[in-house]
Every structure is written in structure tokens, then in C-alpha cells.
Structure 1
């Protein structure tokens, strides 16, 4: 895999991670407003995009594990940063939803 191909995979990772990130941030805003109707479908949408980003990442990991010398550029590293922070946001989003659900459940009591 050459540097251009790695850059394209980096862009792919950024795109999928960015879509997941947008979905998760919207989900948190909805939960904050007390709207829990679409939480599961939003989490599934984010998870699908994260899976696609991981698949792109795995192509590179498999090649390197197979002994290929890869010339990693900034775009691929940028993609890795996006993926890592979005995976963390995914975990945090679940915690926020849980906290907001508890908040709204207490208000109803």
C-alpha cells in the first residue's frame, strides 16, 4: 500500500468517524432535552460508522502485521485521532444518556 492509498484510507476513517461523532453529539443534545425516543437507533447508527472506520483501519494493521513497510502520513494519523476520540465519545455518550434519564425520572417522581 502506497502513501496515497494510506491517505485515502485516512480520509475514509475521518469521514466515518466524523459521521459517528455528529450522531453522538446530537444524541447527547437530545438526551439533555429529555428526548430519549431515538437513543438506541442513534447509537446503532454511530456504531455502524465506527465499524466502517475500524474496517478501514484494520486493512492497514493487517498489512503492517504481514510485514509490509508502510509510509504513514499525517492524513492517516489524523484519521486515527478522529477514530480514537470518537470511540471515547461513544462511551461517554452512553453515560450522559444514563445520567439524563435519571435526572428526568427524578423530576417525574
Structure 2
């Protein structure tokens, strides 16, 4: 069983990494608009790394729970799950928009 303090720290780590992933992806989209392709690629790499960290935390939480309700579900946990899912969706959509920019700009 995970302690309340450990859970809070873990959930905050999930939120921070998911937010970083989404922010880097948004910055990459802004860089794509002006054709800064090296910056785009760096930011997408940072976004992917943050996304992997968030997913690793999420997977650890799922493993701790084992489908048996060992990890309490509270509002902050729901908020964290919302963050990771919206960040993942935003990243996927942003990557598609960047690919459209690449095509339009001939890159």
C-alpha cells in the first residue's frame, strides 16, 4: 500500500510531466508556424521524453493498484489522469498539424 504522501508526490510527478509534454508540443507547433524546424524537432523530442516519464508514473500506479483498489482514487488522481490523457491527445494532434506545416512549407 502506498502512503498518502507518496501518492501525492507521485500524482504531482504525473501532472508535471504530462504538462511539460503538452507545453513542449505547443511550443513545437508555434515554432513550426515560422519554419524553425530544428527547434520543432528538439521540442518534439522533449515532449516525447516528458510523455514517457508521465506514462512510466501512470504504469507504476496501475501496477501498485493491481486492479484491486489499493490506490485510492480521489479528485487529484482523477485530475492527474485527465492531464495525461489530454496531453497525449494534444501531442498526437499537434504532431499532425506540424506535419501539415512541413508539407505546406515544403520541409
Under TM normalisation by the shorter chain, which class is it?
Answer: 0.7 to 0.9
For residues 18 and 98 of structure 1, the distance between their equivalents in structure 2, rounded to whole angstroms, comes to 22
SS of equivalent to 1:20 = helix
The list of structure 1 runs, each at least 4 consecutive aligned residues, that deviate by more than 3 angstroms after superposition, is none
Q: Retained in 2: the 8 A contact 1:10–1:78? A: no
Match of 1:23 in 2: 24
The corresponding residue for 1:5 is: 6
**Which structure has the bigger radius of gyration?**
1
Please, which runs of 5 or more residues in structure 1 have no aligned partner?
none
Q: Distance in 1 between matches of 2:101 and 2:70?
A: 47
Which residue in the other structure is 2:34 paired with?
Answer: 33
Residue 37 of structure 1: SS of its match in structure 2?
A: helix
**Aligned position for 2:56:** 55
Q: Is the 8 A contact 2:28 2:41 kept in 1?
A: no
What's the C-alpha RMSD, in Å, of the aligned pairs?
1.8
Task: Give the Cα–Cα distance (whole angstroms) in 2 for the partners of residues 65 and 44 of structure 1.
Answer: 31
Structure 1 residue 4: Cα displacement: 3.4
Please give the alpha-carbon distance, in whole angstroms, between the structure 2 residues aligned to 1:5 and 1:74.
Answer: 16
After TM superposition, the score normalised by the length of structure 2 is 0.87
The corresponding residue for 1:97 is: 98
Gaps of 5+ in 2: none
